Structure 1
Amino acid sequence: MSDETDYIIVGAGSAGCVLANRLTESGKHRVTVLEAGGTDMRFYVQLPLGYGKLFYNPAVNWLYKTQPDPGLAGQQDHIPRGKVLGGSSSINAMVYIRGQKVDFDDWKAAGNPGWGWDEVLAAYKAMEDNEAGADEWRGQGGPLFVSKNRKGLHWLVEDYIAACGEAGLPWNPDFNGATQEGAGTYQMTIKGRRRNSAARAFLHPAMKRPNLRVITKAQVLRVVFEGNRAVGVEYLQDGQRKVLRAKAEVILSAGAIGSPQLLQVSGVGEGALLQRLGIPVLRENANVGAHYTDHHGLNYTWRMKVPTYNGILRPWWGKAFVGLQYLLTGGGPLSKSINHGGGFFKTRPEHDRPNMQLYMQAFSTLLPRAGERPLLTPDPFPGLSLGLSNCRPTSRGHVRISSADARVHPEITANAYSTPEDVEEMLLAVKFLRRVMAQPAMARWVEGELRPGPEVQSDDDLIADFRARSGTVYHQSCTCRMGPDAATSVIDARLRVHGLEGLRVIDAASFPNLIAGNTNAPSMMVGWKGAEMVLADAR
């Protein structure tokens, strides 16, 4: 291939992999994907529980940090983002959640035709091959296998679900079904014994086609424009600057941090910021990098009277046992995410939808947050964690470049818990964790609370604790949000950048608002629907 192609996709992440697959399907279009990271053919990428080893690994991870955050007691939060084929779908916890019906009806109501629940449900069903079978809610026969994740779970999951029921949160057999509310087990992007990332499900099959080129270790530095039209990108590979031209379109799929950064260094963003850094302003739009939204949460941890995964994953002989179990049977703890159970609940009965998400882990790691995420070396005693995160935060942050050089990380300001509503809702939520663990089904197995500990009781102390111990749950979004008006958004409902030609943003940055739940599934869905729009417009 020459240095010209029809479509350039910047980023081989959750959305980019789907785009690459769908845009090359007909054989009519030449597509080039530029990925700053390398291959996903790594042991700990493919091993489902191996993601703990990827959490601080610069070989596969951008290792972003936020600005010191008053909402998190002044701490800088660690933000892992995938720098590898598959993007963050190659380093995440593999939980598959689509979002609530009302989330997408909100997208449509915000002036984005084509993005209501009925339309996105059709896309979800088309892309899925759900192990639970096809029905009104789920699809079968698509390229993305989704595991129903019912076998081989720790036995405490059943008691956790029973305790939730005793606390007033009933069992829900399918968080991607008729309703999201309730307690149950998560569907997972795991196939066989391996992680089923967007790269495995969508990109690798497409790479067999002659009209797809994937260039790895290629960091895009800027979008190249002629007038108001994007005509290509400049990128760096092996120390050499290269230019790739696009006959049709440039598509940014670099994620909620990378996509606004690339727009800004290319002259699209807040004029004063760009001028301060010596970047000529091509298109003034202060919404680029604004409206940053993320879910934040934390774990409460208990010491248990009965064995948890700590006892088998910590000692050398236990590691040997689960390794052999995985190699011989494809099963055991290494074949799963650590989030075996979960759920969604309302902090107040008057809420019209769940506003908190639960994560149950028969497992604990009370080691410091910085430097390592020791999933494969847990605590030396039986521990269990219940985690939660807010689904509908009202706090907003921003992503702003601090340099005209795209290789320099942008400044990420999260503003966690910066509104009274977010603080009040989290306070109610952490009290619910204790309520669940006090129910007979779980209380009988508990020796004592370790974090934050029984001495933390007052509202002020509980708030101080969750500020000190919370962090991102890795669902950054909305920084190039979709909307009908350039005064409040970056792209239109067809994902085209307002005021420019030949340029789209198709990834989690495009979300008009953050959905309730994990963002990998909706990011892939945006890629699926985005490809349909690109192909329709090409016709």
Structure 2
Amino acid sequence: MSSTSFDFVIVGGGTAGLVVASRLSENPAHRVLVLEAGIEHIDDSNVKTPAFYAGSFHSDSDWDFKSEPQPQLNGRTINLHQGRALGGSSTINAQVFVPPGKHAVDAWEESGNPGWNWQGLEAYYAKSHTFPGATKTTDGQSPLEQTSRGPIQVSLPGDPLHPIHEAWKGTFEAQGHYVSPDPWLREPTGAFSCLATVDGSTKERSYATNAYYRPVAHRNNLKVIEYVVVERIIFETDGPAIKATGVQYRDNDLSYGATGVKNDEIHTVTAVKEVILAAGALQSPKLLELSGVGNPRVLSSNGIQVVKELPGVGENLQDHIVCPIGVRAIDGIDTMDPLAREEVDAFLSATEEYKTHKTGILASSGMTTYAYIPITAELPRDASEDLEKLLHENKPGAGNVHGSLAEDLHGFFAKLLADRTKPTGVFLSVLGQAGPTPVPGTWLTLVAYLPHPLSLGSVHIRSKQASENPGINPKHLSHPVIDPKYLSHPVDIEILAHQMRFLGNFAASSPFSKLLEQPLQYLDPASNFTDLDKAKEYIQANAISMWHYAGTCAMLPEGKGGVVDAQLKVHGINNLRIVDSSVIPIITTGNLQSTVYAIAEKAADLIKADYGEV
């Protein structure tokens, strides 16, 4: 067994972990170690090329988790992707970079987290990314401008003159929804062309590895160890005081070497100042539980001694559930359909254009337009009243498994329904078909997802072993038991069903309908809904995860079931923080990428301040 010492030991070299490592190592006096289960994929074409992001799914750079069977989704097991690579999920995501609903961030403070509001976090969103100057919108209106100057490079993906931009914005505008040239400058309600973490110069993915880590990898005080699995956090106790002093980890090298013995040595590393958990919402709670921190019932059932009782560990899992419909587009619309069908000539042509000019369909993930809509404002008054009644009838009672967060979430959503100006539905478009088996033709996919689900799930350990077979590929680690409980709250499926009906009406509305074959042709005939019940049936058969996991180590007071405080310190344990999406108490409106970067930037400043640096 080998041992060494660093000031800060960061568990997880993902989106948040690399941000914190980069910022803390700015001080040469800080010795910073990052432990990562995956490896660097900076030269992988699936990582670099925006359109190829899905090629990383089910690969060595994906943890490839599975949910428990979901009763409200016809008993289906849902694929749950998470990056297992240096850079984490920023390595494999679809590069969407959209703002949160500012009202959702403000709700964090209202739940008991001083300083965690939009005003306090806005500067950190800006600090993380750079928008390359002003870019004219396709309608010649006000330019999109950002004053940010951060490491992540963002741009408008794909062809800014693609007809979907005008059709998308024009249709929402005709329906009375504000169309923003820059949703970052005001409360993002309405339609907009979304930014992507694609470098505007190279047209390649900009992510935590090449933006935050590579420029500082030469620092003598920063060390990254890849392809290891952290098995537990090491604690010292002195009476009631508990202190994190380091971690235990194991090599996961497949090679046997000259001796024929697997390289699976156990190591311990000491953290002089802090251990920082940044393993993500599905694995940070797992590591806490393996180390004796969590619900005593979960720990004892797995033969683990309780170090610190925190019942909120692994609870409050939130995720954006998403449901698509495909509609046939007119010929001549540029989409990814030829690539989905693996047409050789189309692939070679697109590859040559991208290689030579950095343009064409490969320069984008295909997700270019978004809309945050107050879907309840689209409903007749009696339908809205029915939703409010259903919400009231399902108000969580005291003592529920999710503590007072369920009550906070209920109150937050009740305000949204009553306001009728804040977004309760999110919509986006994809250039191409989204079906499992590629079919002929040109297609557009319209997508709806729940921005603020009321259904709360959980993630807990499966056994007391971090790995089922130490010394083997980490893909075979003992995955946690993940139960998102999608649509378990009855309001969720009602809202999503109304969103799906909205999509059907949207497709039939001008000017978007001008992009589509008439009469409308659906990729799946079942998506041509005739009523809400049919929409619900379609959702239950087709909805999947958007892979936006949050809440499992929620930032809340301990008495409310929280795991970390407003300094991101684990309640009752010294020298241990969590910095990843697990600390988000109420999930934000849009994709979480921009929010995770912002949280990590703020966390770095919080840590520096504790050591007199800010």
TM-score grouping bracket, smaller chain normalisation: over 0.9
Residue 282 of structure 1: how far off its partner (Å): 0.3
Aligned equivalents of 1:28 and 1:283: distance in 2? 32
Residue 152 of structure 1: how far off its partner (Å): 4.5
> What is residue 260 of structure 2 aligned with on the other side?
none
> What is residue 373 of structure 1 aligned with on the other side?
none
Alignment of 1:45-60 (within 5 A): 45-57=47-59, 59-60=60-61
Amino acid at match of 2:246: G
Residue 79 of structure 1: how far off its partner (Å): 0.3
Aligned equivalents of 1:311 and 1:291: distance in 2? 38
Amino acid at match of 2:245: V
> What is residue 569 of structure 2 aligned with on the other side?
496
Structure 2 residue 289 is the aligned partner of structure 1 residue 275: no
> What is residue 221 of structure 2 aligned with on the other side?
211
Secondary structure of the structure 1 residue equivalent to 2:446:
strand
Aligned equivalents of 1:535 and 1:347: distance in 2? 42
Aligned equivalents of 1:136 and 1:307: distance in 2? 28
Gapped runs of 5+ residues in structure 2?
Answer: 136-142, 254-263, 378-418, 468-477
Residue 364 of structure 1: how far off its partner (Å): 0.5
Q: 1:136 to 1:23 in 2, by over 3 A?
A: farther
Aligned counterpart for 1:428 among listed residues 498, 501, 508: 498
> What is residue 153 of structure 2 aligned with on the other side?
145
Secondary structure of the structure 1 residue equivalent to 2:123:
helix
Aligned equivalents of 2:40 and 2:495: distance in 1? 41
Q: 1:4 to 1:73 in 2, by over 3 A?
A: same
> What is residue 399 of structure 2 aligned with on the other side?
none
> Given that residues 223 and 234 in structure 1 are in contact (C-alpha distance below 8 angstroms), is that contact kept between their aligned partners in structure 2?
yes
> What is residue 233 of structure 2 aligned with on the other side?
223
Q: List 4+ stretches of structure 1 deviating above 6 A.
A: 134-137
> Given that residues 158 and 368 in structure 2 are in contact (C-alpha distance below 8 angstroms), is that contact kept between their aligned partners in structure 1?
no
Secondary structure of the structure 1 residue equivalent to 2:523:
strand
> Given that residues 10 and 32 in structure 2 are in contact (C-alpha distance below 8 angstroms), is that contact kept between their aligned partners in structure 1?
yes
Q: 1:128 to 1:225 in 2, by over 3 A?
A: same
> Given that residues 146 and 190 in structure 1 are in contact (C-alpha distance below 8 angstroms), is that contact kept between their aligned partners in structure 2?
yes
Secondary structure of the structure 1 residue equivalent to 2:214:
helix
Structure 2 residue 439 is the aligned partner of structure 1 residue 379: yes
Residue 381 of structure 1: how far off its partner (Å): 1.2
Aligned equivalents of 1:171 and 1:487: distance in 2? 39
> What is residue 180 of structure 1 aligned with on the other side?
188
Amino acid at match of 2:460: R
> Given that residues 134 and 144 in structure 2 are in contact (C-alpha distance below 8 angstroms), is that contact kept between their aligned partners in structure 1?
no
Deviations 1:80-133 (A, max 9, x none): 000001100010011112312111211111111121111101212223212255
Aligned counterpart for 1:359 among listed residues 425, 428, 432: 428
Deviations 1:379-399 (A, max 9, x none): 321111101111111110000
Amino acid at match of 2:112: G
Deviations 1:200-226 (A, max 9, x none): 111111212111000000111110111
> Given that residues 13 and 86 in structure 2 are in contact (C-alpha distance below 8 angstroms), is that contact kept between their aligned partners in structure 1?
yes
Residue 187 of structure 1: how far off its partner (Å): 0.6
Q: 1:384 to 1:151 in 2, by over 3 A?
A: closer
> Given that residues 395 and 415 in structure 1 are in contact (C-alpha distance below 8 angstroms), is that contact kept between their aligned partners in structure 2?
yes
Aligned counterpart for 1:264 among listed residues 262, 268, 289: 289
Give me the TM-score of the superposition, normalised by structure 2: 0.83
Alignment of 1:77-476 (within 5 A): 77-132=78-133, 138-149=146-157, 151-152=159-160, 154-191=162-199, 192-227=202-237, 228-237=242-251, 238=253, 239-308=264-333, 309-310=335-336, 312-313=338-339, 314=341, 315-349=343-377, 350-367=419-436, 378-407=438-467, 408-447=478-517, 448-453=521-526, 456-476=529-549
Aligned equivalents of 1:454 and 1:282: distance in 2? 51
Gapped runs of 5+ residues in structure 1?
Answer: 369-377
- What is the count of residue pairs matched by the alignment? 529
State which structure, 1 or 2, has the greater radius of gyration over its C-alpha atoms.
2
Q: 1:69 to 1:441 in 2, by over 3 A?
A: same
Secondary structure of the structure 2 residue equivalent to 1:190:
coil
Amino acid at match of 2:479: H
Amino acid at match of 1:142: G
Aligned equivalents of 1:455 and 1:497: distance in 2? 49
> What is residue 26 of structure 2 aligned with on the other side?
25
Aligned equivalents of 1:89 and 1:499: distance in 2? 31
Amino acid at match of 1:111: G
Give me the TM-score of the superposition, normalised by structure 1: 0.94
Aligned counterpart for 1:43 among listed residues 36, 42, 45: 45
Secondary structure of the structure 1 residue equivalent to 2:485:
coil
> Given that residues 7 and 271 in structure 2 are in contact (C-alpha distance below 8 angstroms), is that contact kept between their aligned partners in structure 1?
yes
Residue 486 of structure 1: how far off its partner (Å): 4.4
Deviations 1:317-338 (A, max 9, x none): 0100000001001111111121
Secondary structure of the structure 2 residue equivalent to 1:225:
strand
> Given that residues 522 and 528 in structure 2 are in contact (C-alpha distance below 8 angstroms), is that contact kept between their aligned partners in structure 1?
no
Deviations 1:211-245 (A, max 9, x none): 10000001111101111111111111132211111
> What is residue 4 of structure 1 aligned with on the other side?
5
Q: 1:15 to 1:139 in 2, by over 3 A?
A: farther
Secondary structure of the structure 1 residue equivalent to 2:371:
strand
> Given that residues 80 and 547 in structure 2 are in contact (C-alpha distance below 8 angstroms), is that contact kept between their aligned partners in structure 1?
yes
Secondary structure of the structure 2 residue equivalent to 1:340:
strand
Aligned equivalents of 2:123 and 2:529: distance in 1? 47
Instruction: Give the RMSD, CA atoms, in angstroms.
Output: 1.9
Q: 1:153 to 1:202 in 2, by over 3 A?
A: farther
> Given that residues 133 and 139 in structure 1 are in contact (C-alpha distance below 8 angstroms), is that contact kept between their aligned partners in structure 2?
no
Amino acid at match of 1:56: H
Residue 346 of structure 1: how far off its partner (Å): 1.2
Residue 340 of structure 1: how far off its partner (Å): 1.6
Aligned equivalents of 2:122 and 2:144: distance in 1? 10
> Given that residues 180 and 191 in structure 2 are in contact (C-alpha distance below 8 angstroms), is that contact kept between their aligned partners in structure 1?
yes
> Given that residues 312 and 322 in structure 1 are in contact (C-alpha distance below 8 angstroms), is that contact kept between their aligned partners in structure 2?
no
> Given that residues 504 and 529 in structure 2 are in contact (C-alpha distance below 8 angstroms), is that contact kept between their aligned partners in structure 1?
no
Q: 1:296 to 1:84 in 2, by over 3 A?
A: same
Task: Please say which of residues 164-173 and 252-261 is displaced more in the overlay.
Answer: 164-173
Amino acid at match of 1:289: G
Aligned equivalents of 2:331 and 2:284: distance in 1? 47
Secondary structure of the structure 2 residue equivalent to 1:12:
coil
Aligned equivalents of 2:196 and 2:144: distance in 1? 19
Aligned equivalents of 2:46 and 2:184: distance in 1? 28
> Given that residues 127 and 139 in structure 1 are in contact (C-alpha distance below 8 angstroms), is that contact kept between their aligned partners in structure 2?
no
Work out the percentage of aligned pairs sharing the same amino acid: 31
Secondary structure of the structure 2 residue equivalent to 1:449:
coil
